[in-house]
Amino acid sequence: MTDGVVTGEAGGTRAQRATLSEVAALASVSVATVSKVLNGRSGVSDETRSRVESLLDERNYNRRTTAQSTAPLVDVLCFEIDSPFGSAAIAGVERITREQGIGMVVTGTQDSHQPTAAWVEGVLRRQPIGIILVAAALSEKVKARLRSRNIPVVMIDPYGAPGTDAPSIGSADWNGGYLATRHLVELGHTRIAIITGPDDMLASTARLSGYRAALDSAGLRPRRDWIKPGKFHHDDGLSQGLELLSAEGDDRPTAIFASSDIQALGVYDAARSLGLDVPGDVSVVGYDDVSIAKWAGPAMTTIHVPLAEMAEQAMHLVTRLRDEPELAFRRVDMATTLVARDSTAAPRA
């Protein structure tokens, strides 16, 4: 920075950051009102708040409090925080924050991938160095408010299609779906069903696409009635597993690819309730390779997703964006691999 000008990495320039009083004058409000907006306090109308935040963003205002500089925080918003996936992601973030002396505030959301208004106001008061979203999403309005404070957002396994306004860390889900299905094909299965995840999540649609591609490369056509919708939950595996495995003769699949390990455990329970053996009567492949997969009976064949590494990468990115706000970064997909255990075998003759 020289003579009040900030130079971006592409060689462009940005205007000098405005002062608090200048923003107040431009917004035709008091300095106290701008301070309320900055600190996420109530007592400001939505119209005024929006106007002030737009000016803060346009004028590159960046306030970092003394408390933050001595005790930095990162906020983590996790969908279904009690799930094995969420727990593994949070554990990865926590390890890095502990190593770097950074505090961590974790918030869960259950009924919606979107946070509550109270969470947003809390974040603005805390002024974290960054936010990590785990299978969660933010509205454009919330993103704008965070940008006005220079609070970077990094997404892990983003909900919906990842946009271009926030970096995201994911895994190679198409490849994972392909590997899971190809493994079953190579064992000799031709009647292979899938239970998917939410159709508005990139991860689940990519896994389904990989499943289709593996069948196609083997000269097999996916049956529509063997593609069952789900939400990555145990109940999905149980209910859809019961429907699939209750069929007779050639209408019953000999293998099921479940889009999460927890879903696969539901398929295990469905098979047992029908008196069927895993893998003797039906082979089952899960997804994620959470710790419970290797302890299941039988130990589960699954696709390993490097959840801890994804979380660590996200945390490293947050700290880089804190120091390099102009860093150009969009998305990285980390490798997925097949872990063959005892829940898959050749179909019975």
Of 144-153, 213-222, 338-347, where does mean pLDDT reach its minimum?
144-153
pLDDT digit string, tens, across residues 237-279: 999 999 999 999 999 999 999 999 999 999 999 999 999 999 9
Which two tokens mark 123? 């974040």
pLDDT score, position 223: 94
Check for a shared fold between 71-170+308-333 and 173-306.
yes
Residues 68-91 as b/e (b if ≥16 CB within 10 A, e otherwise) read eeeebbbbbbbbbbebbbbbbbbe
Higher pLDDT, 74 or 201: 74
Is the per-residue pLDDT at 203 higher than 60?
yes
CATH of 173-306 among 3.40.50.2300, 3.20.20.70, 3.40.50.300, 2.40.170.20 = 3.40.50.2300
CATH annotation of 71-170+308-333: 3.40.50.2300
Which two tokens mark 165? 């306004």
Of 132-141, 156-165, 192-201, where does mean pLDDT reach its minimum?
156-165
Q: Please compute the mean of the pLDDT values over residues 131-159 and round it to a whole number.
A: 85
Domain boundaries, the chain: 6-58, 71-170+308-333, 173-306
pLDDT score, position 61: 64
CB of 312 within 8 A of CB of 96?
yes
Tokens 């924050």 belong to 97
Assigned CATH topology for domain 6-58: 434 Repressor (Amino-terminal Domain) (1.10.260)
Q: Cα–Cα distance between 137 and 143 in angstroms, integer?
A: 10
Residue 303's pLDDT band (cuts 50, 70, 90)? very high
113-127, 157-171, 199-213 — most confident range: 199-213
pLDDT digit string, tens, across residues 22-68: 777 777 777 677 767 776 666 777 778 778 777 777 766 655 443 44
CB of 31 within 8 A of CB of 77?
no
Of 86-95, 233-242, 319-328, where does mean pLDDT reach its minimum?
319-328
Q: How far is CA 257 from CA 139, 203, 210, 265, 331, in A?
A: 33, 15, 11, 11, 27
Residue 347's pLDDT band (cuts 50, 70, 90)? very high
CB of 79 within 8 A of CB of 114?
no
pTM of the shown model: 0.77
